[in-house]
Structure 1
């Protein structure tokens, strides 16, 4: 009875527009009042435990790294470097968009930051070069989903906090799926661009310019390699590697590119503070929710029901994909991870799914939610940049989103796609 009332209260509060952190906290208080009012004494302690984690320290640092690199002129350099990479195959700005997202994703760890940084430059540039505005916006939002899949990934840190999985292994588990999303989107972009005549004529490469572009691009590529190698091989923790990334971004911005200013550092710190604090508030209140589910043994009950029903594992896994896609349509990434991981992870483990594979599935699935209406954060950002409604942007992005869905199904039914790298390193 109390549990049903808690879920009902949560749904009602979300429907009427209460911020998700306070909706979760209020529904948890309602449960405690109905079940055992003495539980309220532990409320502050459990909220605090939701934010008291060494893993969470890495989150604002990775966010700050992305902001600093964005202010230091990195975005334009990455676009130039991506253009150099796709020229040999007569690639155009569509392919550049995907390649730049793959590289930028390895720096910022955020799909929304990817859309904002790359979209503000590439969408107007693509329109100027003759690409339809819808195509430019669609490929931008679709390719930005790679940002939270390729390590480092802020959502993966949140999942690691809830699941207890190794951050280094999670980063490796997301690497192949992220590359696959990028590769399939590149193929789709090439085919569409070739059919519609978007590809430019081949230009002669000026080697002096090419060397400069390669140098600037290579300096940016060091960042994700530094993070992945240091965390995966145990050289540094996630928090320590994030601190190294901030230091590297600062040195690059001030002394190499020489475009970073102290006023921009102040703005980056302010933006990072606002973003990370909102996520930590959600994390704190979600710990109440997780504790209640553990007390009521909800995951065990769901698992027992599915096992007794003799439902084949493949149907359960397919159902998992559908649930993630549906929830991602209405909820933002962080609350979704924090809410459904404690419920569904133990259930999937009973059917033989590894926690790393589950992490890869939930990250890839929720990335799709960022580009599906009505909530899609990346859709909203791109909509403001190109001044199109989100439904039109979504229609243009649909062919590329299919690539994400194919990869999602692949990592669900082929565990090696997410488990092979962590197993050999």
Structure 2
């Protein structure tokens, strides 16, 4: 009865539009009032214990580094660099959009930031060159899913805190799936253009600089993810220290190389970082209460025992997991989805020989699809704000490219080498 109060309370509060953190906290309080009111005094301690982690330092620092790079003029330079990259294959704005998202994903660590930054430049540019606004917006939001998969990844930091998996291994596990999504989307774009006769509209966008200047500035942007990944993977720095290095690098590039970052920009940058970090941290804190309650009721162990006693094969357990992740992504954002699903499913997957790193890759790729799933997909909403188009129109335009994400999700799920090869090569897993 008490567990029914917990889950029904959370569902009702979420459907009523209550913020996720409040829904988690209030549902947990309702449960404790019904089952054991004496435990309510422990709630502040449980919230604080969820935030009292050295790993939490990395979260706002990665967000700050991304904000500094965005404000420092990196977005336009990434687009210019991407134009030169796709030129040998006679690419147009569609290919530029996908390649730019791949590069930008290695800087921001956030798909929503990717959709907002790339979309604000590419959607008007593609529309100006004859592409429909619907097509341009759909491609942008679908390509933005790479932002949280290609390392560094802010959601992977959150997952690492919950699962205990190595953040370096997780970053490496997302590299191949993220790049595969980009390559598959380029292939889908090629056939989509031929089918819809869009090749006649392909025109190059104007670029401001020559090849060498554009290439040099693009490589300066690429150094940042390599710096983060290299220092963590080879044990030079922890995730928090690596994030600090990324902030310092962003400041140097913005102030002294590109010279587009100004002292007057810093208050707004810090404000955005504070708001974004706080929204994530408060969800993490209150989700710890929810997780604590489920642990007391032994929900993860019960689910694990259910699958064991049913003797469900590994194939079907993984298929159930994939469907569940895609379903939950339609009404939960990435962070609460990670925090709710991870502690429940890890015991089950351990029984079937699936470790935390592969599961992390499955969760990250799966929840990235949810960012483009109506009605609450954050990337869909970012595209809606930029283009003004209805969310459903954007989703239908993005669907041909979103299928690429689902294909990669299935590969990551059933072919462990897709996510684990790079961590193993680097000796971390």
1:319 aligned partner? 320
State how far apart, in whole Å, the 1-side matches of 2:198 and 2:46 are.
58
Correspondences of 1:225-304 after superposition (within 5 Å): 225-304=226-305
Correspondences of 1:76-225 after superposition (within 5 Å): 76-195=76-195, 196-198=197-199, 209-225=210-226
State the 1:312 CA deviation.
1.1
State the 1:29 CA deviation.
1.2
SS at the partner of 1:373?
A: coil
State how far apart, in whole Å, the 2-side matches of 1:310 and 1:229 are.
42
Q: Does the Cα contact within 8 Å between 1:14 and 1:20 map onto a contact in 2?
A: yes
Which shows bigger deviation, 192-201 or 310-319?
A: 192-201
How far does the alpha carbon of each residue in 1:245-292 deviate from its partner, in whole angstroms, 9 at most, with x for none?
Answer: 011011000000001112222111101100110110110011111111
How far does the alpha carbon of each residue in 1:169-215 deviate from its partner, in whole angstroms, 9 at most, with x for none?
Answer: 00001111101111100111122234423367798x99x81000000
Correspondences of 1:342-381 after superposition (within 5 Å): 342-381=343-382
- The alignment yields a C-alpha RMSD, in angstroms, of 1.6
State how far apart, in whole Å, the 1-side matches of 2:294 and 2:400 are.
38
How far does the alpha carbon of each residue in 1:363-385 deviate from its partner, in whole angstroms, 9 at most, with x for none?
Answer: 00000000010001111111111
SS at the partner of 1:150?
A: coil
Change (3 A) 1:386 1:198: farther
Q: Does the Cα contact within 8 Å between 1:62 and 1:246 map onto a contact in 2?
A: yes
Q: Which runs of 5+ in 1 are unaligned?
A: none
State how far apart, in whole Å, the 2-side matches of 1:313 and 1:199 are.
48
State how far apart, in whole Å, the 2-side matches of 1:218 and 1:321 are.
36
State how far apart, in whole Å, the 1-side matches of 2:220 and 2:167 are.
24
2:411 aligned partner? 410
State how far apart, in whole Å, the 1-side matches of 2:329 and 2:37 are.
33
2:17 aligned partner? 17
Q: Does the Cα contact within 8 Å between 1:193 and 1:199 map onto a contact in 2?
A: no
How far does the alpha carbon of each residue in 1:70-108 deviate from its partner, in whole angstroms, 9 at most, with x for none?
Answer: 111110000000000000000011011011001100100
State how far apart, in whole Å, the 2-side matches of 1:201 and 1:363 are.
33
Q: Does the Cα contact within 8 Å between 2:92 and 2:203 map onto a contact in 1?
A: no
How far does the alpha carbon of each residue in 1:212-258 deviate from its partner, in whole angstroms, 9 at most, with x for none?
Answer: 00000000000000000111111111111111101101100000000
1:53 aligned partner? 53
State how far apart, in whole Å, the 2-side matches of 1:384 and 1:45 are.
39
State the 1:154 CA deviation.
0.5
Q: Does the Cα contact within 8 Å between 1:141 and 1:371 map onto a contact in 2?
A: yes
State the 1:31 CA deviation.
1.6
TM-score between the two structures when normalised by the length of structure 2: 0.96
SS at the partner of 1:50?
A: helix
Q: Which runs of 5+ in 2 are unaligned?
A: none
State how far apart, in whole Å, the 2-side matches of 1:321 and 1:390 are.
24
Which shows bigger deviation, 251-260 or 29-38?
A: 29-38
State how far apart, in whole Å, the 2-side matches of 1:11 and 1:377 are.
20
State how far apart, in whole Å, the 1-side matches of 2:134 and 2:221 are.
29
State the 1:293 CA deviation.
1.3
State how far apart, in whole Å, the 1-side matches of 2:127 and 2:198 are.
14
SS at the partner of 1:329?
A: coil
